[in-house]
Amino acid sequence: MGFYECVYDCGDGDYCVDCGSSLDNFESVSMLLTCKKHRLEIGSMLKYSISKFRQRYSKPTSFKDYDVEVLDKKTNARGMLLVKFKVFGYNSSELSELRKNYFSEFNDESSWEQDGDDAIIIDIYTSTNIVRKVCTDRNVYYDWNKNIVGRIDNNTSSETNDI
């Protein structure tokens, strides 16, 4: 039992790191480091999983990840971060109109609306929904003390932290 980190290779020398614990069966995974590509900023483009959103409003038969653009973000009264995404290539016709919510944080906009071939959705943000590739390079590691990603240089048996 313990805490385990996972390093994600985000390309171009960028890395994200998350942490989970076997004490709660990895239910509460937290981000330790977020690279500049995956920071939640208005205008950011991400590969994102909307499967939990779809399950909340429909009974989906298949799952896939979508390219999204962050349009806006607000924190609700419970402290949850709500994000308005443009989901490219998603048809929201599978979603139940009877389950649609309206958000006062966004001037009573609904949970979703179709915008041509794309959909605009408002969802509770979860960093673990961002699609990332697990780093398989055994020379890359996360330094818990310094909160950085480093690389072990096999040629000189030394460590470098210039990532």
pTM of the model: 0.80
Q: Which helix H or strand E contains 14, and what residues bound it?
A: strand 14-21
- Reading the block at residue 51, the tokens are 């499967």
pLDDT band per the 50, 70, 90 thresholds, residue 110: very high
Burial class (CB in 10 A: 0-12, 13-18, 19+), 152: middle
Residue 144 pLDDT exceeds 50: yes
The domain locations on the chain are: 1-39+133-163, 41-124
Distances (CA, A) of 147 to 15, 88, 132: 12, 34, 19
> How far is CA 100 from its chain centroid?
23
Grade residue 21 by pLDDT with cuts at 50, 70 and 90: confident
pLDDT tens for 25-76 read 777 778 889 999 999 999 999 999 999 999 999 988 888 899 999 999 999 9
- pLDDT at position 135 over 90: yes
